[in-house]
A and B are shown apart, each in its own frame.
Chain A
Amino acid sequence: LAKTTQPVSMDSYEGQEVNITCSHNNIATNDYITWYQQFPSQGPRFIIQGYKTKVTNEVASLFIPADRKSSTLSLPRVSLSDTAVYYCLVASYGKLTFGQGTILTVHP
């Protein structure tokens, strides 16, 4: 299973763009890259998923270079409510492998 490495924590301010980078050097051909958000005492919530290049939805963008060994989650104009733990996963046939995640703290 591919392992992921991401920063333990990040700080930002309201209105800024936040980029969280994740490395997954051993990603397999069939693996997708998925990001989840988790608030305390809640289950993870799906943010975005991609295989290559760029994916954008209403809440985030995901950038994946050609070698797929890393990915960057971009959150535009964060607010206080974006304070949470963000997990980068490489999804392999149903077994989601979570790392420790990145604790994002957004300050006023």
Chain B
Amino acid sequence: DAGVTQSPTHLIKTRGQQVTLRCSPKSGHDTVSWYQQALGQGPQFIFQYYEEEERQRGNFPDRFSGHQFPNYSSELNVNALLLGDSALYLCASSLRGPSNYGYTFGSGTRLTVV
């Protein structure tokens, strides 16, 4: 049973560049959420996608955008990268939209902006 798969595992980008991170949800899940985790901090909610639409959004600027595909996989795009965007980006999948339970997290993509 495949869990949540994220790619790439590590990435180094230059300030001002753009990056795309990818997530395949756990088998049977149809909802994907993205989180940013800075070193030594808890994960912070970016947004959630369900039925190919952004359903909820945290306090992140418009430089952060996403997409969900018909197969439920998702992408996180970050434009005009800043040094402060360096973090572990986590994808979590769940079932049937906003809920209070059943989240499975991937191991994340470590993004370093230099």
Contacts and interface: CB of A to CB of B under 8 A. Distances in A.
Interface residues of B, number: 31
Interface in B91-114: 91-92, 94, 97-101, 103-108, 110
Contacts of B43: 44, 96, 98
Nearest to A87: B42
Given A43-B4, A44-B43, A101-B42, A93 B108 contact: no
A32 B103 CA distance: 13
B58 to A, nearest CB: 7
Contact of A34 (B33, B92, B101): B101
Interface residues of A, number: 23
A93 B100 contact: yes
Contact of A94 (B42, B97, B106): B97
Contacts of B97: 94
Contacts of A45: 105
For A92, A95, A98, the residue with the greatest tally of chain B CB atoms inside 10 Å of its CB is: A95
A13 interface: no
Interface of B: 4, 31, 33, 35, 40-45, 48, 55-56, 58, 88, 90-92, 94, 97-101, 103-108, 110
Interface of A: 30-32, 34, 41-46, 49, 87, 91-101
29 contacts: A32-B101, A41-B88, A41-B108, A42-B107, A42-B108, A43-B4, A43-B90, A43-B105, A43-B108, A44-B90, A46-B104, A49-B101, A87-B42, A92-B100, A93-B98, A93-B99, A93-B100, A94-B48, A94-B56, A94-B97, A95-B58, A96-B92, A96-B103, A98-B35, A98-B42, A98-B43, A98-B44, A100-B40, A101-B42
